[in-house]
Chain A
């Protein structure tokens, strides 16, 4: 290619203006200036004529053998099979994303809860060995209190008289009555042995049975 060298500033300006004058998008002043220049410059006039010829040639209808109607029918056939407007809508994808995020949040929340529970159990070493606060029927009966005495009051002894006996002999009910009306009592005074307390109870009116719990000292 031979690169042209503008012969002068006016010719370079004319070269710049030619396409837009041919397009009819140049300003009125630009077009008028070019016409004036072309009237005095043979080379630019020749170049401008060639540019107009170029535009006429480029604007000729294409000569490629194509039928728009056939092309349109092929496009419709394609859309019948693969219509992008009927593809999965974006909101559905957003909904799936929301569901996944919710599930992930639930998993994280559960993990945090389990962690906190584990931390609490770890920080309380006595907790696993602490006795349960309930007893099932299959469990053994709890051990009797130290120094306990089984006592069966007579049916004629009312509540006031029974309380009076307990207060007089410094006894405290720790269990009962059971199915046969027996109470378990302990002496408040540690110096009194269960045997002594039981003998004293047996000597009291209205007491049918008094006996230290087996194994009690």
Chain B
């Protein structure tokens, strides 16, 4: 989960950015790029759109750095901006994910260990069965480590809505995902124990 000292550092970076410090913007951009790219990849597989949304997000962060009031952690604030930019971009570009075959070969990751690839494929099969909002909730809770309150703030919806999305996502994943090859996992059951 996001650490308090990380948030204090983020606030200092925001303060510097509000004074026009582009070096601070560079630090924050590099720090958030990975998690934003992964978060947005739950919405679309198109690299060009993901980069566009990340830059839209940081353009707004740069613009509003001086007005950040601190009601939430900086990371929650930034993820919320990215979420809204992502939805807006998908409305403009369409939400159809790009086919993997359309990605140039030289832009694909060159190193993907076999275990990771198997785990990634296993996750992909499950995520394909979820709605976009369910995928994002799974990413925010299991991937980034946000609380229900944080996710509600990011997605600007009631906590109850987040709970429902998470619950349904977990149930779907539990029912459709098989155990990984080689693992001694029993076949999924259709009800909770």
Give me the interface of A with B, judged by CB distance under 8 Å: 1-7, 11-12, 14-15, 19, 22-25, 41-44, 46-47, 49-51, 53-66, 68, 70-72, 74-76, 78-79, 84-85
Contact = CB atoms under 8 A, between A and B. Distances in A.
Given A50-B177, A54-B138, A84-B62, A65 B107 contact: yes
Interface stretch (B69-77, B153-161, B182-190): B182-190
Contact of B119 (A22, A49, A51, A56): A56
A75 B119 contact: no
A61 B112 CA distance: 10
Given A58-B139, A65-B108, A71-B51, A49 B185 contact: yes
Given A58-B138, A71-B55, A23 B192 contact: no
Contacts of A66: 33, 37, 47, 50-51
A85 B108 contact: no
Interface residues of B, number: 60
B172 A58 contact: no
A188 B154 CA distance: 104
Interface centre among A25, A61, A68 (most CB of B within 10 A): A68
Nearest to B118: A57
A58 to B, nearest CB: 4
A46 B34 CA distance: 31
Nearest to B26: A72
Interface SS of A by simple majority: helix
A51 B177 CA distance: 11
Q: Which of the listed residues B29, B172, B192 has the most CB atoms from chain A within 10 Å of its own CB? A: B192
A44 B188 CA distance: 11
B180 A47 contact: no
Contacts of B58: 75
A53 B180 contact: yes
Interface stretch (B8-16, B86-94, B142-150): B142-150
Contact of B1 (A23, A43, A62): A23
Interface string B159-192: 0000000101011111101011000011011111
A65 B103 contact: yes
22 contacts: A2-B171, A3-B171, A14-B193, A25-B145, A42-B193, A43-B189, A61-B34, A62-B38, A63-B41, A63-B108, A63-B109, A63-B120, A64-B45, A65-B107, A66-B51, A70-B51, A71-B55, A72-B29, A74-B55, A75-B25, A75-B55, A76-B22
Nearest to A77: B55
Given A7-B193, A47-B192, A76-B22, A62 B62 contact: no
A43 B107 contact: no
